[in-house]
Amino acid sequence: MIVSMGEEISSNLAVILNRVKQAAERAGRNPTSVQLLVVSKTWPADKVAIVADAGHTCFGENKVQEAEGKVPLLPQNLNWHLIGHLQRNKVRKALRHFDTIHSIDSLKLARHTSHVAMELGKKPNIYLQVNLAEEENKNGYVISELKRDINNLLALPSVSIVGLMCIPPAAESPEQMRPWFVKMRELRDELEDHTGAVFPGLSMGMSSDFEVAIEEGATIVRVGSAIFGTRNYL
């Protein structure tokens, strides 16, 4: 039997949603406490529409420019998350399309985002990106700098800090990622204890390791290739 790409995407989505549910249940968590962010970067609007037509509304894009051409072609009820690096000069454009930003990695960028959001009458949700392993080729706060800046970040008037995001070092197996996810959860707990604030979100886990991430407390997992297939980068 020949299966269309649309049928394959719909089937993959159902499988991933079930795996998210099962991982949450294994960890003794309510499955509704975990959100699936479907990463649609590099995929055209017609393929994203297949997932939207299945009732899913939460999507992630890597680049502001790509979102500018894609978001207007899709239903207005979709919730868009920016998961890629945000350049200061793209903040205004980003805030026109994205409700949530996962990649705030400095107080300077956070302040600028808050300032622009105030001008636009918006208050986006933001995750603070953490470079847990202090890898030179990755963006994100190192832990010491995040601890230094956290109170100033929480004081910004026009952004809502909802949690932390990480992309741990690559590993050969999902289980090897577990210590990084544990470290992320413990950092979140420490920051909450230190500040008295509540920002429970943990954006961590991708197609290859999202179940382990959920077991260690992820509240939003970023899954793309397990739903759409292997990407073709231009």
**Which CATH number goes with the domain that contains 165?**
3.20.20.10
How far, in whole angstroms, is CA 190 from its chain's centroid? 21
The SS3 assignment for 190 reads helix
User: Does residue 234 sit within a domain?
Assistant: no
User: Does residue 233 sit within a domain?
Assistant: no
How sure is the predictor about 233, in pLDDT bands with cuts at 50, 70 and 90? very low
User: Does residue 106 sit within a domain?
Assistant: yes
Question: H-helix or E-strand containing 13?
Answer: helix 5-26
Compute the distance between CA of residue 203 and CA of residue 219 in angstroms, rounded to an integer: 6
pLDDT in tens, 176-190: 999 999 999 999 999
User: Does residue 24 sit within a domain?
Assistant: yes
pLDDT in tens, 4-27: 888 899 999 999 999 999 999 999
The DSSP symbol for 174 reads G
> What does the pLDDT read at residue 234?
43
Q: Where are the beta strands (DSSP E) in the chain?
A: 35-39, 58-61, 79-82, 100-104, 125-130, 160-166, 201-203, 220-223
Q: What is the mean pLDDT of the chain?
A: 95
Q: Is the pLDDT of residue 205 over 60?
A: yes
Q: Please return the burial class of 87, using the count of CB atoms within 10 Å of its CB with bins 0-12, 13-18 and 19+.
A: exposed
Percent of the chain with pLDDT over 90: 94
How sure is the predictor about 230, in pLDDT bands with cuts at 50, 70 and 90? confident
pTM: 0.95
- Got the DSSP string for 114-158? HHHHHHHT---EEEEEE-TT--TTS-SB-HHHHHHHHHHHHT-TT
Q: For the chain, how many structural domains are there in total?
A: 1
Rounded average pLDDT over 195-205: 96
User: Does residue 224 sit within a domain?
Assistant: yes
Domain that holds residue 196: 5-228
Paired tokens of 99? 């409700």
User: Does residue 101 sit within a domain?
Assistant: yes
Nearest to 71 by CA among 47, 51, 97, 92: 97
